[in-house]
Structure 1
């Protein structure tokens, strides 16, 4: 076990973990941040997506030892923000399992700036899977947030 200092959602945390422990496990088990979900554990579904220095990454694939001083942001950092409002307004969540990862990946796109086309949004979001079929509502929520100049 090694002690790691992590900057998560703007707060410093010290956690004891094996160096190869996935960031997802540290977030959920040690820091009790349960927004990122365990889906496949293989980086194929996106339910565990977090921002790592503004880049959307699948936390099930990121060993805690590789974080260093980079900033980690989870869906909890987006709570009550404009992107969340857009997802609510568009009724983008059905079962809710994928939504945290979807919102985080969408936030990464919003923070890039510019005005991506619908095709660019689809391409960016294609990495994250939704089994309920709310893809069109998710797309509308992202477009709404972009159109209204919203970001959390």
Structure 2
């Protein structure tokens, strides 16, 4: 006989606020953010960790939320694109036309936000390596690279 797993209530720290959620053990963080909390900035794309549209920051690191179970996020700090609220990278994306259709943009914003904080003097190679974690099907990466470079402390 198959055992049915009931939802469990957890508290998640999302965008600096504790939020109670009822989730099944198999629920991904992406599902919980979108379906349970109404935070739709992280997008379902490939749902196997390749495209990066679902990227959020967990303890300041970019994580593909489609691959992380919600229960793994308990006791961690989660930042979604909704929590950026006028971060410099958002303005940089607008000024450098770092998006077209916008579907992948939230994932790129999260990766670039983390990169700017972890590597404020990032080299071109470091920027390229970080951006490889996400896929944009509409634009070249030149505009995205220009956006991140515009907020880094790079001496050119």
TM interval, shorter chain, is over 0.9
Who is 1:36 aligned against? 42
Please state how far the C-alpha of 1:147 moved relative to its aligned partner.
3.8
The CA RMSD measured in Å over matched residues stands at 1.1
Matched, 1:22 2:28: yes
Alignment of 1:1-152 (within 5 A): 1-147=7-153
More helix by share: 1
* TM-score, scaled to structure 1: 0.94
Does the 8 A contact of 2:41 with 2:82 survive in 1? Answer: yes
Gaps of 5+ in 1: none
**Residue 99 of structure 2 contacts residue 139 of structure 2 at CA under 8 Å; is this kept in 1?**
no
Q: How many residue pairs are counted as aligned between the two chains?
A: 148
Structure 1: distance between partners of 2:111 and 2:19: 23
User: Which portions of structure 1, spanning 4 or more consecutive aligned residues, are displaced by more than 6 angstroms?
Assistant: none
> How far apart are residue 2 of structure 1 and its match?
0.4
SS of equivalent to 2:66: helix
- Greater displacement, 65-74 / 113-122: 113-122
Which protein shows a greater Rg?
2
Distance 2:76 2:23 in 1: 17
Structure 2 unmatched runs, 5+: 1-6
